[in-house]
Copies of this chain bind each other. A is one copy, B any other.
Amino acid sequence: MTATSELFVVLQDGSSTSARGFKAGALAAGIKPSGRPDLGIWASEVPCVAVATFTQNTFPAAPVMLSRERLQLAPRAQAVVFNAGNANACNGDRGLRDAREMAELAAARMGIAAELVLVAETGIIGEPLPMDRVRAGLARVELNADGGRAAAEAIMTTDTRRKDCAVSVEVGGKEVRIGAMTKGVGMIYPNMATMLAFVGTDAALEPAFARSALKAVVDKTFNMITVDGDTSTNDSCFLLANGLSGAPELTADHADANRFVAGLEAVCIDLARRMAADGEGAEKLLQVDVTGAASDDDARKAARAVVGSPLVKSALHGQDPNWGRIFAAVGYSGARVDPMRAALWIGSVQIARDGVATGASKADASAEMRGDEVTFHVDLGLGTGTARAWGCDLTEGYVVENSAYST
């Protein structure tokens, strides 16, 4: 994370425990066959205002059902207990009992009420949780203020890199910090992806503002990344705000609300880009900008169709400026299109204008696809709608990785 604006400052080595009062701990409980860290707790020293967004998959995993229910009763939580290696999805009543017990065990370890603990799980679907290992692990886990890095490593599944960061913003003259971690590189698709995201801030947030800020930011960030178009059963993005900064409570009409939202968006953009770049098998990050759409919603549809197209993704992998595939994806996105007005840039090379080839050199366009970050820009020439989406190339590595995951 490098960008810093007038509205926020990026913190060096930021993590999900960078905000005051946040702590975490993780260990290897034997849930992942690899023996890597796979179980942990991320928590605040005091109860928080808590809001979340969850998968729209109609086969939600047990932890999603449990966490959603708790937050519907009250927007309050103090901790999230998590495991990676087992999604605890498609496990029926047993799955719900196990998720509830996980929350109880974490609450007992911390000496707080079980209702203040949310649950996040990711991994194989349809296998019961090995509860003996979960029990033994949670009895041993130690939380501390620099546990963010360990937690970010323990939530990884097929991720190749840890993903966390933090920023600080000024609210009412006080420094407020926002720290976060995410995981998720396969079964990634908006609404939501197989992603888990944990965002902790020491700002004081009015619950309604927390909810609307999180939804607005998630729609522009995590919901704009695509790896393979598969929407997971387990996606969850949690925002916990403990108020320990001492800054005044933020509501939608507070003068510094925009600073907080800018900081939250910066954190989520950084993590979303890193998730797309670490997509299973990915070698290139693709950013698609759509401008000139009839509406922002049309721009979002078009941008998501392009980053999601297997043909575009394959062409990107081969550095092949096969631009017709990009227009074809826009054409089936559902966005309003006038074929005679569309323009397209691959990097800085304008390859199409008024719907037809400009005659730009294919070699030049291919050269723009050589690096590990590639940008396509589509202008639809119809209005002022804009959107940005992120994805990655489709490689042989994706197929190899997903051909033999459970067996």
Asked whether A356 and B311 contact (CB < 8 A) given A125-B327, A332-B231, A396-B396, the answer is: no
Q: Are B92 and A340 in contact (CB under 8 A)?
A: yes
Asked whether A328 and B125 contact (CB < 8 A) given A310-B402, A317-B399, the answer is: yes
Q: Are B311 and A187 in contact (CB under 8 A)?
A: yes
**Nearest B residue to A342 by beta-carbon distance?**
B59
Contacts of A56 on B, CB cut-off 8 Å? 332
A406: interface (CB < 8 Å): yes
Task: Write the nearest CB–CB distance from A296 to chain B, whole angstroms.
Answer: 18
Contacts of A395 on B, CB cut-off 8 Å? 399
Q: Are A228 and B310 in contact (CB under 8 A)?
A: yes
A355 to B228, CA, bound (A): 24
Q: Are B58 and A337 in contact (CB under 8 A)?
A: yes
A383: interface (CB < 8 Å): no
Q: Are B356 and A403 in contact (CB under 8 A)?
A: no
Q: How many residues of A contact B (CB 8 A)?
A: 70
A87 to B394, CA, bound (A): 24
**Nearest B residue to A393 by beta-carbon distance?**
B403
**Nearest B residue to A320 by beta-carbon distance?**
B407
Q: Are B311 and A186 in contact (CB under 8 A)?
A: yes
Task: Write the nearest CB–CB distance from A341 to chain B, whole angstroms.
Answer: 11
Contact of A331 among B57, B328, B342, B362 (CB under 8 A): B57
- Interface core residue of A56, A189, A324, A342 (most chain B CB under 10 Å): A324
A315: interface (CB < 8 Å): yes
Task: Write the nearest CB–CB distance from A85 to chain B, whole angstroms.
Answer: 13
Contact of A59 among B89, B331, B394 (CB under 8 A): B331
Contacts of A328 on B, CB cut-off 8 Å? 57, 59, 89, 125, 187, 230-233
Q: Are A322 and B406 in contact (CB under 8 A)?
A: yes
A148: interface (CB < 8 Å): no
Contacts of A357 on B, CB cut-off 8 Å? 90, 126-127
**Nearest B residue to A194 by beta-carbon distance?**
B328
Q: Are B126 and A327 in contact (CB under 8 A)?
A: yes
Q: A45-67 toward B: CB 8 Å interface, digit per residue (1/0)?
A: 00000000000111110000000
Task: Tell me the chain A residues, 102-156 only, with Cβ under 8 Å from chain B.
Answer: 124-127
Q: Are A310 and B405 in contact (CB under 8 A)?
A: no
Contact of A407 among B58, B229, B233, B366 (CB under 8 A): B366
13 chain-A/chain-B pairs, Cβ below 8 angstroms: A56-B332, A57-B328, A58-B330, A59-B337, A89-B328, A92-B356, A124-B324, A127-B357, A186-B311, A228-B311, A230-B325, A314-B398, A315-B402
**Given A60-B339, A317-B399, A321-B407, 5 more contacts at CB 8 Å?**
A58-B336, A90-B339, A233-B331, A318-B402, A366-B407
List residues of chain A with CB under 8 Å of any chain B CB: 56-60, 87, 89-92, 94, 124-127, 186-187, 189, 228-233, 308-311, 314-315, 317-318, 320-325, 327-332, 335-337, 339-340, 342, 352, 354-357, 362, 366, 394-396, 398-407
